[in-house]
A = this chain, B = another copy of it.
C-alpha cells in the first residue's frame, strides 16, 4: 500500500478525488489525505478528509450512504484520482444523487435533478448550521 501512496503527488498532504457512480455520473469532488486514502484502500469504502470534521471520515458513517469502491484510476501527472463507486444512497448532503445537481441556464444556476432523500432526516446537524 505504501508503494501506491508514495506514487502519488500530494499537495500539502492532500489529493483531489473525483467520485463517479457505476453509470459514470460524477457524484462529488473530494479531498483525501494519506490516511483517508489508506483507509479507502484497506476497507474498499470511500473515506475522505472531511473539511467540516477536519479529519478522515468514512462516507456514510452517519448518513448510511456509503460508497463501495469499484475501481481507482490516476491521472497522467499523479495528482488526481478518479474513483468509481457503488453508492448505497445519495452522495450529496442536500439530498441529491450527486453534488452537481444545478445547471447553468443563461445567467442562473437552475436545479436539474430531483432529490433522492430528505436531508433534514439524514443530516439534522445541517439544519442548524444552515
Contact = CB atoms under 8 A, between A and B. Distances in A.
**Size bracket, chain A contacts:** 35 or more
Nearest to A30: B80
Given A20-B26, A82-B100, A94 B76 contact: yes
Contacts of A26: 18, 20, 24, 26, 82
A96 B76 contact: yes
A128 interface: no
Nearest to A29: B80
A16 interface: yes
A120 to B, nearest CB: 15
A71 B24 contact: no
A123 B34 CA distance: 33
Contacts of A100: 73-75, 80, 82
Contact of A24 (B16, B25, B28, B101): B25
B73 A104 contact: yes
B80 A102 contact: no
A16 B29 contact: yes
Interface of A: 1, 3-4, 7, 16, 18, 20, 23-26, 28-29, 71-77, 80, 82, 92-94, 96, 99-104, 107, 109, 112
